[in-house]
């Protein structure tokens, strides 16, 4: 696994390629950083090659001409939460929308495309343990850029004690529930017609819920947060 602090380097090198900058412009990258960049790009290309090499013949046949995903899924951009944790074969299944704090309003158009144009019957909104965006919304650090502040505006938290795991967990849940509420308002027509169900959940890699590290815990279905009420809906089972 690559070190977390290399993520910025991946973004950096991709931006450099995308912007078609000259070799002179990239000279600020010292040798050590270049070595890291080479290692990261090699990792990505080798991972891609490994993926491609394992594909059965005609794997893309049904995907080339369009998509019919089974769910729109809004998650945090956090590197600890990835599609393979929620769908082991996500290609063609998941219309994935990611942003800091798994928010509805900061990705309104993308989510609307999944719900109203791709007609996914489910909208998942999935937060996660130890979410940095939620913690930032709690602690309000002064060193954040305006663009990041704007993306924290619709994160709803409880309290400001980021050292308290309980308070962070409650804030992660509060934010998921708030995002579900926003989605229920926007997509009430689809929900009332029985064409859309909105699920809120937490990807619990910290094992805050005691069900094992990495479990997805459903905490909200169409605005219902009481586990007994959710169970009565008989929409899913742990068994």
Shortest distance in whole angstroms from residue 62 CB to Zn ion:
33
Options 37, 86, 131, 152; binder of Zn ion; rule CB under 5 A: 131
CB of 176 to Zn ion, least distance (A): 11
Kindly report the number of other CB atoms within 10 A of residue 181's CB atom: 16
Only segment of 44-52, 58-66, 130-138, 166-174 that touches Zn ion (CB under 5 A): 130-138
Task: Give the residue, chosen from 71, 73, 74, 78, that forms a contact with Zn ion under the rule CB under 5 A.
Answer: 78
Under 8 Å between Cβ of 184 and 198 = yes
Q: Which of 100, 83, 79, 72 is nearest to 1 (CA)?
A: 79
- Is 76 among the residues that bind Zn ion (CB under 5 A)? yes
Least distance to Zn ion, CB of residue 129, Å: 9
Nearer to Zn ion, 36 or 106 (CB): 106
120 phi-psi bin (left φ>0, alpha ψ -120 to 50, beta other): beta
Size of the site for Zn ion (CB under 5 A): 4
In the bound state with Zn ion, the residue whose beta carbon lies nearer, of 93 and 135, is: 135
Residue 57, φ and ψ in degrees, nearest 5: -60, 145
208 binds Zn ion (CB under 5 A): no
**Residues 6+ away with beta carbon under 8 Å from 145:** none
DSSP category for residue 213: T
CA 35 distance to own-chain centroid: 30
Q: Which is nearer to Zn ion, 134 or 230 (CB)?
A: 134
Q: Under the rule (CB under 5 A), what is the footprint of Zn ion?
A: 76, 78, 131, 133
């Amino acid at each position: 696994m690559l070190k977390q602090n290399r993520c910025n380097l991946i973004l950096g090198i991709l931006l450099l390629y995308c912007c078609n900058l000259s070799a002179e412009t990239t000279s600020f990258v010292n040798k050590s950083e270049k070595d890291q960049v080479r290692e990261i790009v090699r990792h990505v290309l080798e991972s891609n090659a490994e993926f491609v090499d394992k594909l059965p013949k005609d794997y893309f046949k049904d995907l080339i001409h369009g998509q019919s995903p089974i769910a729109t899924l809004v998650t945090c951009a956090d590197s600890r939460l990835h599609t393979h944790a929620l769908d082991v074969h996500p290609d063609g299944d998941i219309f994935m929308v990611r942003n800091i704090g798994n928010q509805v309003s900061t990705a309104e158009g993308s989510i609307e495309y999944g719900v109203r144009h791709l007609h996914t019957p489910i909208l998942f909104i999935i937060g996660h343990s130890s979410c940095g965006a939620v913690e930032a919304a709690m602690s309000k650090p002064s060193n954040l850029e305006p663009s990041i502040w704007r993306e924290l505006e619709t994160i709803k938290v409880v309290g400001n004690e980021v050292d308290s795991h309980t308070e962070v967990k409650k804030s992660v849940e509060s934010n998921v529930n708030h995002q579900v509420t926003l989605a229920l308002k926007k997509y009430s027509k689809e929900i009332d017609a029985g064409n859309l169900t909105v699920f809120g959940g937490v990807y619990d890699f910290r094992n805050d819920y005691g069900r094992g590290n990495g479990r997805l815990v459903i905490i909200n279905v169409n605005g219902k947060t009481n586990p007994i009420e959710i169970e009565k809906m008989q929409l899913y089972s742990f068994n």
